[in-house]
Amino acid sequence: MSMLRKTRVLFATRFAEMAEYRAEVIIWMLSGTISLVMMLVWMAQAASAPGGQINGYDGSEFATYFLSVWLVGQLLVVWVGWELDFMIRQGTLSPKLLRPMDPMWVEYAAHVAERFVRIGPMLVLLAIFAFLSGASFTREWWAYPVTLGLCILGFTVRFLYEYALGLLAFWTESSTAFSEVAWLLYAALGGLFAPLTFYPQWVQNIAVWTPFPYMLGLPAQLLAGKATLAQAGHGALILFGWVVLFWFVRLAIWRLGLKKYGAVGA
């Protein structure tokens, strides 16, 4: 019961905080434009290709894929690495350690609450972009809850590894640079620049061993009606495995980091 109450209070306060930042939330959303840039380039490229398509994608299919990537990418946004870097360097982490709760949950709640602030303007923008670009999403109803499930798993994976990278601020000043590198891997292998099947075979072979294609490309393909339920199930299992792995990695780094933090007298 007390657990339930804690969760509710945590979520309500983070939601109020995020609602105050609503203007920023919209700007953050608009700055995630790289998939929209890629969409425009691929659409123009398909329009000038013989037969009007490339690798079986015509203009409207490119639009559907990249708008789906944009939507999923919006749901997976994580900034906890920067937050931790700041908290550790400025020492504002210290009072948070006195609470009878791992500070991770506060950050997790803030990220989840932000999604609820984001979703309204996001769907409006999505409708406008879809209308302008001629995208058409799948009509299979099951694809939507399954996509949402994959997004929740994908978000949790990303949150956990970004958290672990952010904790490196206990030892090094360049933890935000590591977060940047992680973003680059996520962008490249997740399918932000093109559907993964467009990549050279050797890149695809590497990508399947990482969580990235299942976080971003797979849910986007589901929305575009180009992935099956079986593929979604396979992806969900892999993502779940990464959640478990990163959970323990995060925990280990947290424990080691706290020892180091305490040792320097904070």
What x/- string results for residues 19 through 58 when contact with another protein is judged by CB under 8 A? -----x--xx-xxxxx--xx-xxxxxx-x-x----xx---
Q: Which of 77, 104, 187, 249 binds another protein (CB under 8 A)?
A: 187
The footprint of another protein on residues 90-149 (CB under 8 A) is none
Calpha distance 125→51 (Å, rounded) = 30
Cα-based distances in Å from 245 to 14, 160, 201, 214, 251: 27, 9, 27, 16, 10
Helix axes 143-167, 103-133, angle to 10 degrees: 130
CB 256 within 8 A of CB 169: no
User: Smaller CB distance to another protein: residue 2 or 48?
Assistant: 48
> Should residue 64 be labelled a site residue for another protein when binding is judged by CB under 8 A?
no
Half-sphere exposure for 58 (CA within 13 Å, toward CB): 7
Which range, of 90-98, 156-164, 185-193, 255-263, touches another protein by CB under 8 A? Answer: 185-193
Cα-based distances in Å from 187 to 69, 77, 123, 173: 10, 12, 22, 24
Does an H or E element contain 58, and which?
Answer: strand 57-58
Q: Which of 123, 184, 229, 256 binds another protein (CB under 8 A)?
A: 184
C-beta of 10: minimal distance to another protein in Å? 26
C-beta of 55: minimal distance to another protein in Å? 6
Binding site for another protein (CB under 8 A): 24, 27-28, 30-34, 37-38, 40-45, 47, 49, 54-55, 172-178, 180-181, 184-185, 187-188, 193-194, 198-200, 203
